[in-house]
């Protein structure tokens, strides 16, 4: 069984953090993050979503593009936060949190006390990876290792703020790559959730992703052990793989069609947990939801009930696996 090393909590982050990651594009990361967050909030949890993808799909699934342009684009996105370090005047991460109104209105109907907040993204985030990469070097090996830790734990340090202890969980929607921004998310995370399609290339990709995660954790922990003790000491990290969630499955007779089953079996043989629940394919429902600003799981349309039931089962399994 493939497992990441167990570890104490990284830095002082005192809210469970889950990165939704797969460097294959278009596998349903954003759709899964939005639906998980919305259903957890419906159940009364206080959820913070963080959009770390320059494509900003999660942001535009919850905020209207006009609102984003007029109210957020200049200085209320995660881009501003990463850039503020370069300008030598870091802004607190909490200054970027907003409460999207479309979901908020829907959640009010639940009367459960849940909350769904968002730290939005920006198309300019694409350049931040290059800038962070330039901060990684150093005149000596010792300096380079120190810079590696300083840059990679930036998001963990940002979340290490009493403001965030009001949340029950932070869900990070990662971009489809394994660049530095993605790595900052993993370093800040207690858990990693991997959405995947059931096909040949996706199965290969999961194996490669697991190796990359392992490599990141082992490099980080080696360099962290060289940091001086005291205030700036960096505890080791060890995010746990919650499992693979199969997305966009074609279901027939209550189970994935036979063409997909070998890939599901092959993924299980990698030794990674595979969720019992899944997201089935439904282009109409899932493609339209972002335009309405309300994830499918909160859809009041009775025609969507079987999809909503499946999403609810998925969220229950997530809660159990993450120990929420």
Ligand X SMILES: Nc1ncnc2c1ncn2[C@@H]1O[C@H](COP(=O)(O)OP(=O)(O)OP(=O)(O)O)[C@@H](O)[C@H]1O
Site residues, ligand X (CB under 6 A) = 25-31, 53, 55, 57, 176, 247-248, 279, 281-283, 286-287
Cα three-residue angle 81-61-47, rounded to 5 degrees: 65
**Least distance to ligand X from the beta carbon of 109, Å?**
24
How far apart, in Å, are the Cα atoms of 192 and each of 199, 239, 264? 21, 7, 19
Q: What angle do CA 175, 178, 181 make, to 5 degrees?
A: 65
Question: What number of other Cβ atoms are within 10 A of residue 169's Cβ?
Answer: 23
What's the CA gap between 193 and 32, in Å, rounded? 10
Closer Cβ to ligand X, 51 or 117, answer by number: 51
**Radius of gyration for the alpha carbons in the chain, expressed in angstroms and rounded:** 19
Taking the complex as a whole, the smallest distance from the CB of residue 21 to ligand X amounts, in Å, to 10
Q: Please say whether the beta carbons of 33 and 173 come within 8 A.
A: yes
How near is the Cβ of 35 to Mg ion at its closest, in Å? 13
For residues 114 and 295, which CB has a smaller minimum distance to ligand X in the complex?
295
| Residues between 54 and 93 that touch Mg ion (CB under 5 A) | 57
Question: Considering beta carbons, is residue 175 or 239 the nearer one to ligand X?
Answer: 175
Q: Which of 29, 80, 152, 153 binds Mg ion (CB under 5 A)?
A: 29
E-only strand ranges, 121-259: 169-173, 191-196, 240-246, 251-252, 255-256
Q: Are 296 and 307 in contact (CB under 8 A)?
A: yes
279 binds, among Mg ion, ligand X, none (CB under 5 to 8 A by kind): ligand X
Q: Rounded to the nearest whole angstrom, what is the least distance from the CB of residue 23 to Mg ion in the complex?
A: 11
Q: In the numeric block, which tokens belong to residue 148?
A: 């590696």
Q: Which residue has the tokens 């802004």?
A: 91
Shortest Cβ 314–Mg ion spacing (Å)? 17
Question: Which does residue 182 bind out of ligand X, Mg ion, none, counting CB within 5 to 8 angstroms by kind?
Answer: none
Would you say 132 or 194 has its CB closer to ligand X? 194
What mask, x for binding Mg ion by CB under 5 A, covers residues 117 to 156? ----------------------------------------
To Mg ion, the closest distance from the beta carbon of 178 in angstroms equals 14
Q: Which residues of this chain interact with Mg ion, rule CB under 5 A?
A: 29-30, 57
């Amino acid at each position: 069984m493939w497992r990441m090393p167990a570890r104490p909590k990284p830095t002082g982050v005192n809210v469970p953090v889950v990165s939704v990651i797969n460097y294959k594009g278009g596998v349903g990361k954003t759709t899964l993050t939005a639906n998980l967050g919305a259903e957890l909030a419906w159940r009364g949890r206080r959820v913070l979503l963080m959009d770390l993808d320059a494509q900003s799909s999660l942001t535009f699934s919850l905020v209207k593009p006009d609102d984003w342009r007029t109210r957020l684009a200049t200085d209320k996105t995660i881009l501003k936060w990463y850039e503020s370090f370069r300008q030598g005047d870091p802004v607190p991460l909490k200054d970027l949190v907003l409460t999207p109104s479309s979901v908020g209105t829907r959640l009010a109907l639940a009367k459960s006390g849940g909350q769904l907040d968002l730290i939005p993204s920006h198309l300019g985030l694409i350049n931040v990876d290059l800038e962070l990469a330039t901060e990684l070097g150093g005149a000596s090996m010792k300096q380079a290792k120190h810079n590696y830790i300083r840059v990679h734990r930036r998001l963990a340090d940002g979340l290490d703020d009493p403001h965030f202890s009001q949340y029950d969980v932070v869900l990070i929607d990662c971009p489809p790559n394994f660049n530095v921004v993605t790595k900052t998310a993993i370093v800040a995370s207690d858990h990693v959730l991997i959405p995947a399609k059931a096909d040949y290339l996706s199965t290969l990709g999961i194996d490669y992703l697991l190796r990359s995660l392992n490599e990141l954790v082992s490099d980080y922990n080696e360099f962290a052990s060289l940091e001086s003790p005291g205030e700036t000491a960096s505890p080791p990290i060890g995010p746990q793989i919650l499992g693979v969630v199969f997305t966009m499955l074609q279901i027939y007779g209550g189970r994935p069609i036979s063409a997909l089953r070998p890939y599901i079996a092959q993924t299980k043989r990698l030794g990674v947990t595979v969720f019992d629940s899944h997201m089935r394919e439904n282009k109409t429902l899932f493609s339209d939801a972002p335009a309405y600003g309300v994830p499918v799981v909160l859809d009041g349309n009775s025609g969507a009930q079987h999809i909503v039931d499946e999403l609810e089962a998925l969220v229950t399994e997530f809660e159990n696996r993450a120990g929420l």
